[in-house]
Structure 1
Amino acid sequence: MPEAETAYRHAIAIRPDFAESHYNLGIVLHALERLDDAEASYREALALRPQSVEILNNLGGVLQARGLPAQAAELYRRALALRPELSVTHYNLGTVLKSLDCLAEAEVEYRAALALDPRYADARFGLATLLLSFGRYEEAWVEYEARYEPERFVHRQSEVVLKPCPRWRGESLQGRSLLVWQEDGLGDMVQFGRYLARLKALGVSRLTVACLPPLHRLLRAVDGVDEVVVHAEAQAHVAEFDCWISLMSVPLRLGMVDHAQDEALSPAVYLKPDPVLVERWRAKLDTLPPGLRVGLVWKGNPKHHNDAHRSLPSLAVLEPLWQVPGVQFVSLQKGQGEDEAAMPPEGQPLLHLGSEVGDLADSAAIVAQLDLVICVDTAMAHIAGSVGTPCWVLLPAQDIDWRWMHGREDSPWYPGVRLFRQRAQGRWGGVVESVQKALPQRVDTGARAPQMLPPLSLPDAVSR
């Protein structure tokens, strides 16, 4: 890459009016993630070739990567006006329109891309996530399988490493061994873990889950699970399994099209915290003064593609909540933001447990004893929803995950979840203000009450 950059810059020095050199330099700089420099090169090229759909499309891609979707959409539209049969640009426009919450228009663009190229996997996957966010599951789950086609997706690698073992596609599982293979995030595994017992009930002789260590203790306790192992161990014995499946494909294979019907067969509240862990964490939680026990998570994994939008800038953003009387806050923050929890704002008591948490089994044992969890879009929302603890999720305005749907304050995936949405990207103040106004109602109605013993059975009066 550095050699290519040098060569293109040399070519530009010799002939500065050669648009192709500026354009190709932009491609190199974009690949190096030097977005400002890439934008400058593409704009130089566009000034020389204003009718080039390639330059318009790629400049749109840089602006999209820089978090400027409206500007990107304008460039994509210009390119399509010149060449409407460009499927990749229809796909790109659909993606930015989806991030701008222009959902009907986004669907039109995805379908236009697929009309031009029915095998366009990225467009199928983009359409799938859009349809999932609408709750149009019958078509959505089918298209969601397109994630196995793009080579850059981790899902494609699953097919490679598990090649001796066929993927389960809905045939009978009676008497067969099934490997459930994690290829998505922790939150995905917790949310879709509700289907494990249902898989076992189909007659699976041995149900093994291969997943990351933070999930091991949690999933071992789930009904129907016979064994939980790391990926390497499952891969080493892959030939011993009759078939494998990703949890994210299970709704398709089970025919999930309706939440009400699905809840009856695969309850959202399915996690059973370990009683030993519950007792261990109860001792720490009981050091809190009386009041509503509220868990907090304000940052997610920094490696997540949308973390810049979904995580709060700092713990200080939640400062208005400190003013609500009768609330005791518990920090569940782990990793990014942990340092803030260890040194909370002056005058704000905060019981920080996140640093002591070993895995998600610990998290579940803590959350099950809280009255409420307030968090950004992380795995903790799924833990709370799956143990039955009320949870308020703070959502960004841009690139909202499909499972939180659109325009709703509740979630059909979890009965105890309430959603607080940004009105404008980056503006968390209004979200926190809404939470601050709602919190006193929880204090009045949801605080953990003292546990009372039942009445005693008194002996009959002795006659004298």
Structure 2
Amino acid sequence: MGGTLLVTAEQGLGDTLQFVRYLPLLAAQGHSVVFEAQVPVFTLLWHSLGRHGVRVVPRTETPARVHDDLPFARHVPLLSLPERFGTRLDSVPADTPYLFAEPSRQALWRDRLDAVAGPRRRIGIAWQGRPAHARDRERSIPAAALGPWRYRTSSSSACTRPTADRGAPARTNRRPASFRWTNCCMTSPRPRR
């Protein structure tokens, strides 16, 4: 197809995770795709997209600075791909799952969450963005809006953010003094009998 196509993640982490589903389509069209990803999601995307022939490299600075040491023939921002593919609601790439954690990380988190919730079903809720973002108040749901369900005895919640207990999930049914509810995003309801 004529050289390397460099795709850059020009928005936030959530946008990147939503729109990387288009990268395997580029590779399937015969493009040699290099994706410049944000460092916090680099390992996840390297593991997930490599199987499709997409080369993932970590971004070293800001989206405005394209890798000087990366030879490429063309460049495209990630969030322009839906329009370039002519995406409609019924044609959004829907091959799921399209993100895969490394097996060792899957095992680590399975063990951590099993310690908190046991064999109960787990449901993850992404309700908080990056607190340092200038518009975080407009993008995140306040913890109070999640309501009283968080303390029900029929559910178990775990914090998956590293600010609680140095990376380990924390129980929220019993609120430890060092725990901040605003960092919690994992619930595990008990199965119905």
TM-score class, shorter-chain normalisation, is 0.7 to 0.9
What does residue range 332-347 of structure 1 map to in structure 2 within 5 Å? 332-334=160-162, 338=164, 347=174
Q: Which has the higher strand share?
A: 2
State whether structure 2 residue 55 is matched by structure 1 residue 226: yes
Residues 400-430 of structure 1, C-alpha deviations (whole Å, 9 max, x = no match): xxxxxxxxxxxxxxxxxxxxxxxxxxxxxxx
2:182 aligns to what? none
In the alignment, does 2:122 pair up with 1:293? yes
CA contact (8 A) 1:200 1:224 kept: yes
Cα distance in 2 for partners of 1:180, 1:443 equals 43
Write the distance in 2 (CA, Å) between the matches of 1:231 and 1:220.
15
Query: Number of residues paired by the alignment?
Result: 177
Could you tell me how far 1:260 is from its partner in structure 2? 2.1
- Aligned positions of 1:90-169 closer than 5 A: none
**Higher helix proportion:** 1
- Structure 2 matches for 1:31-42, cutoff 5 A? none
Per the TM alignment, residue 259 of structure 1 is displaced from its structure 2 partner at its CA by 2.4
Residue matched to 1:214: 40
2:157 touches 2:172 (CA, 8 Å); kept in 1?
no
Please report the TM-score for the alignment, with normalisation by the length of structure 1.
0.33
Structure 2 contact 158–186 (Cα < 8 Å) conserved: no
Q: For residues 345 and 218 of structure 1, do their structure 2 counterparts lie closer, same or farther at Cα, with a shift above 3 Å needed?
A: closer
Higher relative contact order (CA 8 A, sep 6+): 2
Q: Distance in 2 between matches of 1:345 and 1:217?
A: 29
3-state SS of 1:321 partner: helix
Question: Aligned equivalents of 2:149 and 2:35: distance in 1?
Answer: 40
1:232-381 matches, cutoff 5 A: 235-238=67-70, 240-256=71-87, 258-263=88-93, 266-267=94-95, 269-288=97-116, 289-295=118-124, 298-314=127-143, 318=146, 320-334=148-162, 338=164, 347-348=174-175
What code does the residue aligned with 1:176 have? G
Identical pairs, percent: 32
The one of 191, 196, 199 equivalent to 2:18 is 191
Please tell me the residue identity of whatever aligns with 1:269.
P
Q: Any idea what SS the aligned residue of 1:291 has?
A: coil
* TM-score, normalising length: structure 2: 0.72
- RMSD of aligned Cα (Å): 3.5
Cα contact 1:213–1:230 (8 A) shared by 2 = yes
- Aligned residue identity for 1:255: G
Report the secondary structure of 2:97's partner residue: coil
Query: Are the structure 2 counterparts of residues 234 and 322 from structure 1 closer, same or farther at C-alpha, using a change threshold of 3 Å?
Result: closer
Cα separation, 1, equivalents of 2:132 and 2:27: 33
Structure 1 unpaired stretches of 5+: 1-173, 353-371, 375-438, 446-464
State the Cα distance separating 1:317 from its structure 2 match: 5.5
Q: Is residue 6–residue 72 contact of structure 2 (8 Å, CA) maintained in 1? A: yes
